[in-house]
């Protein structure tokens, strides 16, 4: 079965972005290559159980095996030694990527307290979008009762190419709840 967001992208979003930016070839419309989810677990230096619970949570959220990231060099002020485990990450592609984005946009982000939308300014020069979350308990797969330490995560949506205006329009049409600009509020 084709994920709902993937079907929406190919049937609606591509043509709308082509019309808005006057792109002649539909292959020139930016598409999402991958989604990278990263948890930096600095508290794992003192207690490895925190890293183990973060790995289990990230595997439950994504449904995919997690890679444990390690320190590249030693920093004595942080009691960090070279090659010590300090975080975990997952790279999602194809159908799993679209299913994760669908859950993030439609289920998880609305569960945030006092949520007014995500920032429009989190695009880099290549058009990739990075979103930081402070707590992993917004995902329904996580059992809130067994969380010892709330752990944040960074979600990076990587596009193949194109200016950030095109990538922003793709995410907007897919349903990403961006904050309102002052210009948009004045127009209404």
Q: Is residue 182 part of a domain?
A: no
Q: Is residue 184 part of a domain?
A: no
Interval 143-164: pLDDT, tens: 777 776 778 889 999 999 878 8
SS3 percent helix, strand, coil of the chain, rounded to 5, is 45, 20, 35
Q: Residue 15: its pLDDT value, please?
A: 92
pTM of the model: 0.85
Query: In the predicted model, what is the mean pLDDT of residues 16-40?
Result: 90
Residue 186 pLDDT > 50, yes or no? no
Q: Residue 176: its pLDDT value, please?
A: 87
Q: Residue 141: its pLDDT value, please?
A: 84
Domain that holds residue 132: 4-174
Interval 109-142: pLDDT, tens: 888 888 888 888 888 888 899 999 888 788 888 8
Q: Is residue 78 part of a domain?
A: yes
Q: Is residue 16 part of a domain?
A: yes
Q: Rounded to whole angstroms, what are the CA distances from 182 to 15, 17, 107, 164, 179?
A: 28, 23, 27, 19, 10
The mean-pLDDT minimum among 62-66, 101-105, 146-150, 154-158 falls in 146-150
Q: Is residue 179 part of a domain?
A: no
Of 88, 89, 91, nearest to 50 (Cα)? 88
Q: How far is CA 116 from the centre of its chain?
A: 17
Helix, strand or coil, per DSSP, at residue 161: coil
Q: Is residue 186 part of a domain?
A: no
Q: Is residue 183 part of a domain?
A: no
Domain holding 48: CATH number? 3.30.1440.10
Q: Is residue 122 part of a domain?
A: yes
Domain count of the chain?
Answer: 1
Residue 36 pLDDT > 90, yes or no? yes
Of 33, 71, 4, nearest to 156 (Cα)? 33
Q: Is residue 125 within 8 Å of residue 164, measured between CB atoms?
A: yes
Q: Which two tokens stand for residue 42?
A: 């600095």
């Amino acid at each position: 079965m084709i994920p709902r967001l993937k079907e929406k992208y190919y049937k609606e979003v591509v043509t709308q972005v082509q019309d808005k930016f006057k792109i002649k070839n539909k292959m020139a419309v930016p598409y999402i290559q991958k989604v990278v989810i990263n948890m930096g677990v600095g508290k794992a230096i003192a207690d490895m159980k925190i890293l183990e619970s973060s790995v289990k949570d990230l595997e439950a959220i994504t449904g995919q095996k997690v890679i444990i990231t390690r320190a590249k060099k030693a920093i004595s002020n942080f009691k960090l030694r070279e090659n010590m485990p300090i975080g975990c990450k997952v790279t999602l592609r194809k159908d799993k990527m679209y299913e994760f984005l669908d859950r993030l946009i439609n289920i998880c982000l609305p569960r945030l307290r006092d949520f007014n939308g995500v920032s429009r300014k989190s695009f880099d020069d290549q058009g990739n979008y990075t979103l930081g979350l402070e707590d992993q308990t917004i995902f329904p797969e996580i059992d809130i009762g067994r969380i010892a330490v709330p752990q944040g995560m960074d979600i990076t949506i990587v596009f193949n190419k194109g200016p950030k205006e095109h990538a922003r329009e793709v995410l907007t049409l897919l349903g990403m709840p961006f904050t309102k600009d002052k210009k948009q509020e004045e127009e209404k």
